[in-house]
Amino acid sequence: MSTKLFKRIPFFTSFNTFFLFASVFVVYLFVFLEQSANYRLNDSLFAFLAGTLFILYLLFKGKLTLPLVTTITLALFLVWQLITLFFSRDIGVSLWATAPIIGVMMLFLMTYSILSQEKSRLHDLHIYIVSLGELLVVYDLVTFLLNNGIANHQVFAGSFLWHNQAAGLLLFLIPLTLALLIRRQTKQTLFLLSILFIINVFALILTSSRGGWISLILGLCVFFILTFRSMRKYGKLLAILTTIIFILSAISIRGTQLTQRLTSIGNELSSQTQDVSAKTRVAVWQDALTMISASPLVGMGTGTFGTMMETYETQPWLYSANAHDYFLEIAVDNGIPALIFFLIFLASIILPTQKTAIHFFNKAQDNSVFAGFLAAWIGALAHTLIDIDWSRISLLLLFWLCCAALLSLCKTSKFVVEEKGKIYLAYVAVLLFLFITTLGILSASNFNQAAQASNITEQQNYLAAAIQFDPYDEKYYFNQALLLINQGKWTDARAQLVLAKKINSSDSDIYYLLGYSYCQQRQESLCQTYIKKAISISPYKDPTYYILLAKSYLMTNNQMAVRKLLSHAITYSFPINENFRMYKYLYDYTGLTKNLKSLYLLLATLDVQGGNTTASRHLLAISKTL
């Protein structure tokens, strides 16, 4: 009955193809949705869609075919993540950061179940990933060229906020497109795929992602080793395609710029010649190791890396909300046991895949599909060692779909879940998950409505509704406090901030706002206590902390403390150096540069009052460059 229903829909030959297409469609849907900063809403919405697809699949199929070792490992990984929720530094963030991971696991298991039962459906998955992906890349590249991206010396980021994430998508599409190209095709199809291959590689070059280039080379090396027999027939074609790509790159990109990016790869290996981007990664990795040593068993909490990095940051301006290494981030978020479970999960894929690769290598048979997925898998895995691809739901899901594809081609132990009792238990678990994610969608939607409301009363009502659906998000209470402060209701505001602090005691902004409220009521002692606490948590976050504390000191005529504080701030916390200049465009956007200028001007004013005009002129000269 269900099969006949789906056969009536063009493009779908069975309900299995529908679910495969839906999974891939979700990938590219979230490429667009994640352009907004509505992380909580996106996480909840994705988890809801994934849970819906999974339960619909169970309803249609009535059973699941699962890889034994991989499923056990995932269960252990998930259980440990749920345990670490109770030890999270911010349970509200961790709760909703866990939801999309569960959603990804559901789609992985569903995809594997489909492919293991019908191996012919792997071709459908392959086509869906490439066809939808190519539509996105072509659209993005045309838009980039029409906006004079090359002429303006911009890097290609496409529909992503970060150019390295655009490279992350292309690491999947290039080998998968190449796998289609070397299969027997009509001349028209061969021509089309050749054009798409050129576009993909050209787009990757335009991203200027050195990590992307290296990761692609690693993946393609494996691809060519596995398919060298098939590739011999296309040697001339590949030579022509490579020549065309080289000519396009030489014409479109300034040679000095491309040469600089290529030659700088070697420079990044030395701390003396690293650019700011590499220095940031190294600093963040070092800080991540410190965080792991601080809580090696249960971590800081899923999704809390960015918040905790503010506390463990050791070098000014070298901050990142992600670890730029997915494995380090897992260990920071959920502890070393979670990292071990994830490594075992990867091993459960690598070991059977290795055997299958050797089998294909020794047999003279078409293995282009396997080679394409393996090359994409290796490239993506290599890239996530140095970048933040998997902070995007779309790229994380794409990787897990590749995991399912590879496992389906390997001989592994399987088990089938089809007993009614177990299936009903799965229904209950997924329905509970859907209920929780619905609450997340409602709370996040109300929060977004509060941001768009035209008056304070409406904003407070929306925030109150958001809190009803999700009482574990500290930013809801924090925003309520901001509204109350705007109305001069200091006591009520502090009550909301205390609630926020109970959820997340590591947010320096909470302490800053508490200090600000006491300053407004001329309670300087309490003001200074809370501002000092904010600075101790995040000494490199915002010059406003230091400005407010300095003004509080001035209210008590503590000139010596003011000078010492401000001098320390501009020397150690906010020095104007190469690192600041590199990221200045970001600080201009967030308003931090303006606050930094105020910091320098305040100290310059004190120097004038103290008769130190030389120091004052020096500070004023610096402030003018900001």
Whole-number Cα distances in Å, 601 to 90, 340, 598? 36, 51, 5
Helix ranges restricted to H, 86-209: 91-117, 121-146, 163-181, 187-206
Whole-number Cα distances in Å, 255 to 167, 259, 274? 20, 6, 21
Cβ-count burial 415-438 (b if 16+ within 10 Å, e if not): eebeeeeebeeeeeebeebbebbe
Residue 3: what pLDDT?
Answer: 45
Please tell me what DSSP assigns to residue 318: -
Q: Following DSSP, what letter does each residue of 19-71 receive, concatenated?
A: HHHHHHHHHHHHHHHTTSS-HHHHHHHHHHHHHHHHHHHHHHH--EEEEHHHH
Residue 27: what pLDDT?
Answer: 96
Q: Which of 341, 349, 282 minimizes the C-alpha distance to 68?
A: 349
At 355, the amino acid letter reads K
Residue 263: what pLDDT?
Answer: 54
CB atoms closer than 10 angstroms to residue 39: 17
Residue 254: what pLDDT?
Answer: 53
- Half-sphere exposure at residue 434, Cβ-oriented, CA atoms within 13 angstroms: 15
Are 154 and 138 in contact, with CB atoms under 8 Å apart? no
CA distance 201 to 246: 10
Q: How much is the pTM?
A: 0.91
CA distance 176 to 164: 19
Residue 302 burial by CB count (10 A; 0-12/13-18/19+): exposed, middle or buried? buried
At 176, the amino acid letter reads L
Classified as helix, coil or strand, 272 is coil
Q: N- to C-terminal Cα distance for the chain?
A: 68
Which parts of the chain have pLDDT scores under 70? 1-13, 184-185, 232, 234, 248-275, 364-366
CA distance 95 to 99: 7
Sequence-ordered list of residues with C-beta below 8 angstroms from that of 10, at least 6 positions apart, any chain: none
Residue 6: what pLDDT?
Answer: 41
CA distance 131 to 126: 9
Cβ-count burial 559-595 (b if 16+ within 10 Å, e if not): eebbbebbeebbeebbebeebbebbbeebeeeebbeb
Sign of CA dihedral 593, 597, 603, 606: negative
Are 227 and 367 in contact, with CB atoms under 8 Å apart? yes
CA distance 626 to 237: 53
Residue 265: what pLDDT?
Answer: 54
Please tell me what DSSP assigns to residue 295: S
User: Which residues, listed in sequence order, are joined to residue 415 by a DSSP beta bridge?
Assistant: 66
Residue 238 burial by CB count (10 A; 0-12/13-18/19+): exposed, middle or buried? middle
CA distance 397 to 107: 8
Query: What helix, strand, coil percent values describe the chain, rounded to 5?
Result: 75, 0, 20
Whole-number Cα distances in Å, 421 to 37, 59, 105, 107, 417? 41, 14, 21, 22, 10
Tell me the Ramachandran region of residue 97: left when phi exceeds 0, alpha when psi lies from -120 to 50, beta otherwise.
Answer: alpha
Residue 406: φ, ψ to 5°: -65, -45
Cβ-count burial 154-191 (b if 16+ within 10 Å, e if not): ebbbbbbebbbbbbbbbbbbbbbbbbbbbbeeeeeebe
